[in-house]
Amino acid sequence: MAFNVFKLAIEEGVRRVIVTSSNHAADWYETKLLCRKLIANGPGSYPLSDNWYGWAKANYEHIGLVFATGRYGRAVDMLKSE
């Protein structure tokens, strides 16, 4: 569905798509941080989730990045809101 939304934005001349995400895109780290098996998680960390919902969230963010680079023609601005 995310692919279709971004593709349609290009076809219809929509300049920006606003997406919302959640902490579930990286919730695998949460347990590790709380029990001190991991010291830090930062912007360079790859999103890892331990459930399907989080996996879907992380993947639509990656799909958005591809469209934001202009790979499929005109670049689509992607404003991420959490």
pLDDT tens per residue across span 39-66: 766 667 677 778 888 888 888 888 888 8
Q: What percentage of the chain exceeds 90 in pLDDT?
A: 6
Q: Which residue has the tokens 């992380």?
A: 58
Could you say which DSSP state residue 25 is in? G
- For residues 81 and 22, which has the higher predicted lDDT (pLDDT)? 22
pLDDT surpasses 60 at 81: no
pTM over 0.85: no
pLDDT surpasses 80 at 30: no
**CA separation for the pair 70, 41 (Å, rounded):** 29
**CA separation for the pair 45, 72 (Å, rounded):** 26
